[in-house]
A and B are shown apart, each in its own frame.
Chain A
Amino acid sequence: MSDIQARLREIARRLLTEGHVRVFIGFGPGFEANRPVPFFAADPDAADRLLLDEFCAAGLARYVLEEVREGPVGLVARGCDGLGLERLLADHRVAREQLYVVGVSCRGVVDPDRACAAAGEEVRAARVNGETVTLITPTAERSFPRSACLLDKCLRCQDPTPRIADVLLGEAIPPGERDLAHVDAVERMPSDERYRFWARQFERCLRCLACRQVCPACNCVSCSLDRPEWLERGTGLAEQFMFHFTRAYHVAGRCVACGECERACPAGIPLGLLNDKFMKDLRDLFGVAAPHRPGDVEPLGKFCPDDPEGWHEGGEGT
């Protein structure tokens, strides 16, 4: 990674020096070594503070929306960031020529809490290999399974490399087919149990709107969920259902599966399970091969004359 980090700094410095971009978005040091934070390098010297390691968690695509108003933006993008940018481009929210995308392939981001729990002590560095993750602590260097170390969103990731990079650092990793089997588990619950499951999840919602703020698909200028006719201020169950239903429906066919909503949720609500349900049905009913990869027209903006009637297909085992 360090070689790539050096090249990243070099590119960012050049872009800023030559005035190609006004700001370069990447990661910089956080309060703790294993918790880097998004960093906005606005001058060439700041480029040297950019870092890139296995702990860089936040999605960066959404920051572009604000930054691009002031001028061209450069950023480092993993596969998920790339899809987020594609979403913003497909929605005409940014123009391609305003972006300079430095692509990197990502094998997964280490969740510091999870990793510390696995290692039993502070984790200072990590290496993500194929099926295992090597955690480096002050005392040891040991390998653990991916599922014990990585962020949830990375465990299901099938898009390690961005498709729209202007320059790609390191090797491209071919995309895979997104596995949506986790949706099945919820589908298999009896109807009432499923309802209680979701009601319990939604009850915990603080309505902080973090899920909306980080989402590259939730990029409207004005959100209908801020309108009183659609959503009242209360956090009663009705409002919670309205909020979560509408949020998920509004990204149906547009969600890029970056997993940021779920990562950002302070209450730990499995929002990905909602997004992925739409994705699964889009795939199964309408043959949208990879619903999370933006295409020419979003799947709900088109139809086939012989589309199936999904309501007859029995969405569940009733």
Chain B
Amino acid sequence: MSSDWQPRIVGFACRWCTYAGADLAGTSRLEYPATVRLVRVPCSGRVNPSFVLRAFQRGADGVLVAGCHPGDCHYTSGNLFTRRRFSLVKRFLEYLGLEPERLRVEWISAAEGQRFAQVIREMTDDLCRLGPNRKMREEP
């Protein structure tokens, strides 16, 4: 691992809250590490858990799944299903040996640009400490 190694984070962001929150971080010119790349989805309920595994397998060191706060879902209930699904999936991936820091599920509203930047900073720090993910890919 070279000293200037930077982790790669794939983020799934619901278009109504988190994606808009990330845009707000931009309009507020809040600087955060260039480690994250967002996939825009209509709702966190659209995020298939297998998408997350695929990201890890294709080279992501961390994955963020983010949506509206419970109760604020544009589609009323999408994120409440997300909460159940990813409560199980995160624990399950950890059960398979993934480090807990590598997958984060967060509620970030359209007003929380600051928080979005903060989450990316925290994740980047955590992942820098952990180093590249090699699990669930090729090398055992």
Interface residues of A (CB under 8 A from B): 186-187, 191-200, 203, 230, 236-238, 241-242, 245-246, 248-249, 252, 274, 277-278, 281-282, 285-286, 299-301, 303, 305, 307-311, 313-316, 318
Contacts and interface: CB of A to CB of B under 8 A. Distances in A.
Q: Is the interface of A mostly helix, strand, loop or mixed?
A: helix
Contacts of A230: 50
A192 B97 contact: yes
Given A249-B50, A318-B100, A196 B140 contact: yes
Q: Is the interface of B mostly helix, strand, loop or mixed?
A: helix
Nearest to A187: B95
Interface stretch (B1-9, B24-32, B75-83, B116-124): B75-83
Interface stretch (B11-19, B35-43, B84-92): B84-92
Q: How large is the interface on B (under 10, 10 to 19, 20 to 34, 35 or more residues)?
A: 35 or more
B57 A238 contact: yes
A305 B96 contact: no
Given A195-B135, A199-B140, A303 B80 contact: yes
Contacts, number: 130
B128 interface: no
A300 B81 contact: yes
Q: Which of B54, B87, B100: most chain A Cβ within 10 A?
A: B87
B111 interface: no
A300 B99 CA distance: 24
A184 to B, nearest CB: 11
7 contacts: A186-B95, A192-B97, A194-B95, A195-B135, A242-B57, A286-B87, A316-B91
A248 B98 CA distance: 16
Contacts of B46: none
Contacts of B94: 191, 315-316, 318
A281 B100 contact: no
Contacts of B135: 195, 199
A274 B97 CA distance: 12
A139 to B, nearest CB: 46
B17 to A, nearest CB: 16
A314 B87 CA distance: 10
A236 B138 contact: yes
Give the top 8 A-B pairs by smallest Cβ distance, nearest first.
A195-B97, A310-B87, A315-B91, A199-B140, A303-B80, A241-B136, A238-B57, A311-B90
Contacts of A195: 96-98, 135-136, 140
Given A242-B50, A249-B92, A199 B97 contact: yes
A281 B95 CA distance: 11
Given A194-B97, A245-B93, A310-B86, 18 more contacts: A191-B97, A191-B99, A193-B97, A197-B97, A200-B140, A241-B53, A242-B50, A281-B88, A286-B87, A299-B84, A300-B81, A305-B70, A305-B80, A309-B87, A311-B86, A311-B100, A315-B90, A316-B94
A312 to B, nearest CB: 9
Nearest to B107: A309
Given A309-B105, A315-B100, A316-B95, A252 B88 contact: yes
Interface string B56-68: 0100000000000
